[in-house]
Amino acid sequence: MKLSWWKIVTIVLLTYTVIGGLLMEVPRLPILNETIRNLYFHVPMWFSMIIQMLVGTVYAIKYLKSSNTEHDLKSVEFTNAGILFGILGLLTGMLWAKFTWGDFWTGDPKLNATAVGMMFYMGYFVLRNSLQDAEQKARISGIYNIFIFPLFVALIFVLPRLTDSLHPGNGGNPGFNAYDLDSKLRLVFYPAVIGWILLGVWIATLKVRLRKAEDKILEKQEDSQRAIL
């Protein structure tokens, strides 16, 4: 099967990210030292999380306006991909915290807010699975998705800036740009952001295709059962 150009770009960018992220020279910053390489994984995964969740919210709005079931399907799978990258972001962040802050979970406001936000998104799938009627499931979960996304953004981006936080760029701490003057990190960071975002899109679109294939198989089975009866 021939890959689309953007999938080839995804493979190239992530291959470059992994190799460059592990082998290329990085600035020797206090405390961070070699752990700063996690910048190429942890932060871009969060970028991908936000993009996938945003796309899922957009498709939820489209479904509510059109009642097109394909929009609901895309909303679910892009939200799924967002949660996947959110979990990966948390795990890589916890690993980074262990080596720089001394513990996997420090009670940092951004960590706690992210955990709360992820629980809200888990509630999205609990809500969907608790409803039996397909149209009701799509509409109610779509409305929930639309409300939860801006709340999630506020939790992980706005709230930490209003309190003391260990994260760069929050609670008075400088962001990486403030002391990354040689731009070495940017050589890998920007390709990493694009690569992880594209991987999220790839996963979501693949899941959509699989769901459609499963639905067609179920339809054929139901038709066969009706024919037998």
**Does this model's pTM top 0.85?**
yes
Distant-in-sequence, close-in-space partners of 78: CB < 8 Å, separation ≥ 6: 52, 53, 55, 56, 59, 204
pLDDT tens figures, 206-217: 999 998 888 788
Instruction: Indicate whether 170 pLDDT > 90.
Output: no
pLDDT tens figures, 31-63: 667 788 888 999 999 999 999 999 999 999 999
Instruction: Indicate whether 6 pLDDT > 90.
Output: yes
Rounded Cα distance, 94 and 152, in Å: 19
pLDDT tens figures, 83-104: 999 999 999 988 888 888 788 8
User: For residue 168, what pLDDT is reported?
Assistant: 59
Instruction: Indicate whether 203 pLDDT > 90.
Output: yes
Domain ranges of the chain: 5-215
Residue 115 CA neighbour count, 13 Å, CB half: 11
Average pLDDT, the chain: 85
SS3 category, 2? coil
CB environment 111-122: b (16+ within 10 A), e (fewer): bebbeebbeebe
CB 121 within 8 A of CB 78: no
